[in-house]
Amino acid sequence: MPSYLADILAAHRARAAADDRPVEGLFERAAATAAPRDFAGALRGTGLGCIAEIKRRSPSKGDLDPSLQPDVVAKEYAEGGASCLSVLTDEDFFGGSPDDLAGARRACGLPVLRKDFTVQEADVADARLMGADAVLLIAAALRDDELRRFATRAGELGLAALMEVHDDEELRRALAAGARVVGVNQRDLRTFAVDHDRARLMAARIPTDVVAVAESGIRSAADARSLADAGYDAILVGETLVRAADRSAAVRELAGHPVAPR
């Protein structure tokens, strides 16, 4: 069984090891940019929020829509009632780029998550410099000290940190690192297999003052309703929306379901 996460992380850490840019200079430049949009606040609404994802391909599914136009897709998602965007910026494995994120953000008023593999402090600064309002921190990919340090650095720039977890131990680590937004990924990043019960089982363990997001494998209104019933504030959906014939309608079908208390 392939280990996608290991291969992706090895590539990103090798790139980080060769990155000799002065980190503090990057943070000074990032801090001078306009204030980010409120990513976490956008997910606290009267119904289930939807983080709608823009990606061209994935390691497990191959090409989804290699020719998509990020600005057009962003407008379609916004028209459908998406709360936020998630944009893949990894080029080698997902076909994304910083330009995709910048273009999507310019096209609408939604906060944007940089969906990538953060492995160094410079990645946090780069996220803000390309226009992101939130950064992804994957617990399975980071040590405890990295989770804390990267989250702190994100906070210094006004960025939200979506800490992604897959099990109880990773959730414990994320909360210990100060997580305010937690994403429970139903996809195993080592094999990319989806466990549809994972998020529902973990929902009650997420504190009520933490924004809870369910990720991956969400294909229908029934899936979305089940997660809202479990107490999730939002869902993050990629493949289903990218492949939809009518992306605005697909977002409307998934978003807005009443959220049960956790």
**Model confidence pLDDT, tens digit, residues 165-177:** 999 999 999 999 9
Catalytic residue among 58, 83, 86, 216: 216
Catalytic residue among 86, 185, 226, 248: 185
**Whole-angstrom Cα distance, residue 224 to residue 171?**
21
24-28, 100-104, 151-155, 186-190, range with the lowest pLDDT: 186-190
- Count of all residues that appear for the chain in the document: 262
- Catalytic, 216? Answer yes
pTM above 0.85, yes or no: yes
User: To the nearest whole number, what is the mean pLDDT of the chain?
Assistant: 94
**Degrees, nearest 5: CA angle 238-241-243:** 105
Can you list the positions of beta strands (E) in 7-111? 49-54, 57-58, 62-63, 84-88
Confidence of residue 2 (pLDDT cuts 50, 70, 90): very low
Catalytic residue among 121, 215, 239, 253: 215
pLDDT of residue 195: 86
Average pLDDT over residues 110-126: 98
Percentage of the chain beyond pLDDT 70 is 97
Q: How many CB atoms lie within 10 A of CB 22?
A: 9
**Beta strand pairing call for 134-138 and 112-115:** parallel
pLDDT of residue 1: 34
Residues 6+ apart with CB under 8 A from 127: 114, 116, 118, 134, 135, 154, 159
Catalytic residue among 53, 170, 239, 253: 53
**Whole-angstrom Cα distance, residue 253 to residue 220?**
8
Catalytic residue among 121, 164, 239, 253: 164
Domains of the chain: 4-254 (3.20.20.70)
Structure tokens at 75: 């407008």
**Beta strand pairing call for 112-115 and 84-88:** parallel
Tens of pLDDT along 6-46? 889 999 999 999 999 999 999 999 999 999 999 999 999 88
**Degrees, nearest 5: CA angle 234-30-124:** 50
**Whole-angstrom Cα distance, residue 29 to residue 15?**
21
- Catalytic, 67? Answer no
Catalytic residue among 115, 170, 226, 239: 115
Decide: 89 and 101 in contact? Cβ < 8 Å: yes
Confidence of residue 189 (pLDDT cuts 50, 70, 90): low
- Catalytic, 91? Answer no
Average pLDDT over residues 233-255: 97
pLDDT of residue 101: 98
Catalytic residue among 55, 76, 121, 239: 55
- Catalytic, 164? Answer yes
Structure tokens at 182: 């937690």
Tens of pLDDT along 129-143? 999 999 999 999 999
- Catalytic, 115? Answer yes
Average pLDDT over residues 243-252: 98
Confidence of residue 113 (pLDDT cuts 50, 70, 90): very high
C-alpha closest to that of 88 among 63, 67, 111, 117: 117
Dihedrals phi, psi of 11, to nearest 5 degrees: -65, -45
